[in-house]
Chains A and B, each alone.
Chain A
Amino acid sequence: MDINYARYLPLSEATFYVLVALDEPLHGYAIMQKVEAISEGNVVIGPGTLYGVFTTLEKQGLIDKVREEERRKIYALTDKGRQVLEEQVRRMAIMLRNGELAMAHLRKGEAE
């Protein structure tokens, strides 16, 4: 399946972290807690915003409801969601490399 990545990327910080948190099936509140923890408190997603993110990601086919437990929807990544996340991470790795190179260059300039 060919994915038109331009339709999904770049992911917003919140969306990125929701997809990352879904490396295992989880329900909404567990995702909120996990995102806050793994982002070291940098990304906090309100429940109202998160629900909207679910609706969008479900419509895009990046996540899927796998089951429901006492009115809690459990979501998981779809194959397409995994591929989009992989492409995002690939691009971010390049960004990070370039950012670090630039910072090193700037620091060297300062030292001289």
Chain B
Amino acid sequence: MSSATVTKFKWFWHDQDVEQEQWLRAMALRGLHLKALSFLFWTFEKGQSADVVYRVDFNNESVKPAYRQLLEDAGWELAAVEHGWQYWRTTKSQGAGAELFTDTASKMAKFRRLLALMIACAFPLLLAFTQAGKNKMFEQLSPPFLIFLLAGAAVNVTAIVRLSARIWRMRREQS
């Protein structure tokens, strides 16, 4: 394991799968191949420039062996997994061969799973805010913690809005 790695810090919204895929493909063209993802830190392995197509999926369930086998048979490799996010890549050319999902229902299912998770995350946040408000605790909370809590809530609400908009758009395009 002598090959060098590069780590980058980058944020994407939950609905930005296409943006992630394009960025990862551009990195691969520069010879940087996704090796691991940890929170917002992306680690790339330095290598040959290659045209690699990436596809992002999200699933709370771990990658099942039969699922992995099917995707590998079809020419896909699991590059990284992080908190339910799966990054698959293939060197297959364009077209339908470069897609994991080929119908609207299965494409939409990914965003539904993400939306469900974001809504589930909203409850403890809401509870924290109402409790803190009721007990007049906001003055007692340390500013860094308060900022952390507010930022978390802002990200959560934005993600819910963005994911809902994405699902709504997909549904409208379908009909």
Report A's interface with B, CB cutoff 8 A: 12, 14, 27-29, 32, 44-52, 68, 70-73
Nearest residue (CB) in A for B107 is A49
Residue from B69, B103, B106 within 8 A of A72 (CB atoms): B69
A-B contact count (CB 8 A): 57
- Is there an interface contact between B109 and A52, defined as CB atoms closer than 8 Å? yes
Distance between Cα atoms of A44 and B96 in the complex (Å): 6
Distance between Cα atoms of A68 and B96 in the complex (Å): 27
Report B's interface with A, CB cutoff 8 A: 57, 65-71, 73-74, 76, 95-97, 99-103, 105-106, 109
- Chain A nearest Cβ from B72, distance in angstroms: 9
Name the residue among B65, B66, B97 with the largest chain A CB count within 10 angstroms: B66
Residue from A12, A14, A44, A72 within 8 A of B70 (CB atoms): A72
9 additional A-B residue pairs with CB within 8 Å, beyond A12-B103, A46-B74: A28-B70, A28-B73, A44-B95, A44-B96, A46-B102, A46-B106, A47-B70, A48-B71, A71-B69
Name the residue among B99, B100, B102, B109 with the largest chain A CB count within 10 angstroms: B102
Residue from B96, B97, B106 within 8 A of A48 (CB atoms): B106
- Is there an interface contact between B102 and A29, defined as CB atoms closer than 8 Å? no
- Is there an interface contact between A49 and B102, defined as CB atoms closer than 8 Å? yes
- Is there an interface contact between B106 and A47, defined as CB atoms closer than 8 Å? no
- Chain A nearest Cβ from B131, distance in angstroms: 40
Known: A51-B67, A71-B65. Contact between A32 and B74, CB under 8 A? yes
- Chain B nearest Cβ from A73, distance in angstroms: 5
Residue from A28, A46, A68 within 8 A of B100 (CB atoms): A46
Residues in A whose Cβ lies below 8 Å from that of B65? 71
A-B contact pairs, 22 of them (CB 8 A): A12-B103, A14-B103, A27-B73, A28-B73, A29-B74, A44-B95, A45-B102, A46-B96, A46-B101, A47-B71, A48-B57, A48-B71, A48-B100, A49-B101, A51-B67, A52-B105, A52-B106, A70-B69, A71-B69, A72-B69, A72-B73, A73-B66
